[in-house]
Amino acid sequence: MQGTAQLILERARELMQSGQIQRVLGWEKGEFEHDPTPAFFESEEELQNFCYNDYCGANLSKYLIAASKLEGKTLVCIKPCDSYSLNQLITEHRVNREKVFVLAVPCPGMLDPVKTEGKDLSQGERKDYLLDKCLCCKGAEHKIADETIEGPSLDLAPEDRFAQVRELEALSPQERFDFWRGELSRCIRCNACRNVCPACSCVKCVFDNPNSGVSSKASADDFEENMFHIIRAFHVAGRCTDCGECSRVCPQRIPLHLLNRKFIADIDELYGEYQAGEEAEQRSPLVNYQTTDKEPSDALKGRG
């Protein structure tokens, strides 16, 4: 990782010196190794605090919405899984491609500070300490890049990301309801999931809009507690790239990504396999009518 970070820094410095980029979007060293934070670096001096280590799981693509409005180009460090989110944001005209220099960085799989806390990492396998989202790694290929930094990638057969979805589908409606009540009742409405989600990029979120009829800063009752996450899942359906950030940042460890994966599984089943963010300017099946589309009655068949 040390080597990769060095390569990124060197290239970033060069581009900054030549004036091709105005700033760098990367991760800033924290107090500890396990808490780097996404940050903009406006000068070579600021770049001294840049880091790229095992805990740089954060997806930087959403910060480019703000960067698109700034003067000049922003160099962004994009891991393979982040590249899907960036493509999706470009598709939705939320990020201006011309304002971005995409530096594709290799990813060996990122560690989960909760899993590594108090552990001796030399004991056990790296797999045991990986972020959950890395266990279903989409692969080492970047779907968008202006330039690529070579380096080690994750050597791990990805798990079936729909296994848990199928387990939940197999439950009776009551059991499934109880499962989600149990999970969602822990929600403290900190909005971290919404704020981190690259698909949640509305200029004004319905939950902040008093005229939307669903606005609320905090859950007033358990109904709202459930509905917040379900409404959010509907709003990102067909656009969610399954980057897993929602579950990663949840302080209550609610498996929010399962809601999104259920939508993805349904879309795959009804309209054929679809990966949001595979490429820019692709059309989500949910906003792309074709005469061969399933009828609504087909979609309801065999569903509880």
Partner 1 sequence: MQRIGVFVCWCGSNIAGPVDVERVAEAMKSVPGVVHSTTYQYMCSEVGQSRIMEAIKEHQLTGVVVCSCSPRMHENTFRKTAQRAGLNPYMVEIANIREQCSWIHKDKEVGTQKAIVLAKAAVAKVMLNTPLQAGTSPVIKRALVIGGGIAGIQTALDIADAGYEVDIVEKSPTIGGRMAQLDKTFPTLDCSACILTPKMVDAAQNEKIDIISYAQVEKVSGFVGNFTVTIRKKARFVDELKCTGCGACMEKCPSKKGKNEFNMGLNNRTAIYIPFAQAIPNVAVIDPEQCLKLKTGKCGLCERVCSAGAINYKQEDEVFERQYGAIVAATGFKPIDLDAFDEYGYSQSKDVVTSLEFERIMNAAGPTGGQLVRPSDGKHPHEIVFIQCVGSRDTSGCGKPYCSKICCMYTAKHAMLVRDKYPDVNVHVFYIDVRTPGKNFDEFYRRAVEQYGVDYIKGMVGKVFPEGDKLIVQGSDLINGKQLALQADMVVLAAAIEPDPSARKLATMLTASMDTNDFFTEAHPKLRPVESPTAGVFLSGVCQGPKDIPETVAQAGAAASKVIGLLAKDHLVTNPCVAQSNELLCNGCSQCERVCPYGAISYVEKEIRGPGVREVRRVAQVNPAVCQGCGACTVTCPSGAMDLQGFSNLQIMAEVDAICK
Binding mask 258-297 vs partner 1 (x if CB under 8 A, - otherwise)?
-------------------------xx-xxxx-x------
Applying CB under 8 A, among 236, 258, 267, 276 the residue interacting with partner 1 is 236
Least CB distance to partner 1 at residue 302 (A): 20
Least CB distance to partner 1 at residue 201 (A): 7
Does residue 92 belong to the site contacting partner 1 (CB under 8 A)? yes
| DSSP 8-state assignment for residue 162 | T
Half-sphere exposure of 39 (CA within 13 A, CB side): 17
Supply angle C-alpha 206, 94, 270, rounded to 5.
70
The phi and psi torsions of 28 (rounded to 5 degrees) equal -105, 140
Distance separating alpha carbons of residues 281 and 107, to the nearest angstrom? 25
In the chain, the N- to C-terminal Cα span, in Å, equals 47
User: 102: helix, coil or strand?
Assistant: strand
Least CB distance to partner 1 at residue 280 (A): 12
Q: Which of residues 152-171 bind partner 1 (CB under 8 A)?
A: none
Q: Which residues contact 52 (CB under 8 A, 6 or more apart)?
A: 1, 4, 5, 8, 26, 27, 77, 105
CA distances from 303 to 84, 167, 195 (A): 30, 14, 32
Please say which residue, 16 or 233, places its beta carbon nearer to partner 1.
233
Contacting range for partner 1; rule: CB under 8 A; set: 25-33, 44-52, 87-95, 183-191: 87-95
Applying CB under 8 A, among 203, 210, 301, 302 the residue interacting with partner 1 is 203
Q: Are 257 and 73 in contact (CB under 8 A)?
A: no
Joined together, the tokens standing for residue 139 give: 């692969």
Applying CB under 8 A, among 31, 32, 45, 93 the residue interacting with partner 1 is 93
Residue type, 73: K
The phi and psi torsions of 3 (rounded to 5 degrees) equal -65, -45
Applying CB under 8 A, among 118, 213, 272, 304 the residue interacting with partner 1 is 213
Q: Are 105 and 78 in contact (CB under 8 A)?
A: yes
Q: How many residues touch partner 1 (CB under 8 A)?
A: 24
Helix (H) or strand (E) holding 78: strand 74-78
Applying CB under 8 A, among 70, 135, 206, 270 the residue interacting with partner 1 is 206
Does residue 211 belong to the site contacting partner 1 (CB under 8 A)? yes
The phi and psi torsions of 40 (rounded to 5 degrees) equal -95, 140
Does residue 210 belong to the site contacting partner 1 (CB under 8 A)? no
CA Rg value for the chain: 20
Does residue 235 belong to the site contacting partner 1 (CB under 8 A)? yes
Does residue 202 belong to the site contacting partner 1 (CB under 8 A)? yes
Least CB distance to partner 1 at residue 282 (A): 11
Binding mask 21-60 vs partner 1 (x if CB under 8 A, - otherwise)?
----------------------------------------
Please say which residue, 7 or 231, places its beta carbon nearer to partner 1.
231
Please say which residue, 45 or 98, places its beta carbon nearer to partner 1.
98
Does residue 195 belong to the site contacting partner 1 (CB under 8 A)? no
Please say which residue, 32 or 289, places its beta carbon nearer to partner 1.
289
Q: Are 50 and 27 in contact (CB under 8 A)?
A: yes
Binding site for partner 1 (CB under 8 A): 69, 91-94, 201-206, 209, 211-213, 235-236, 283-284, 286-289, 291
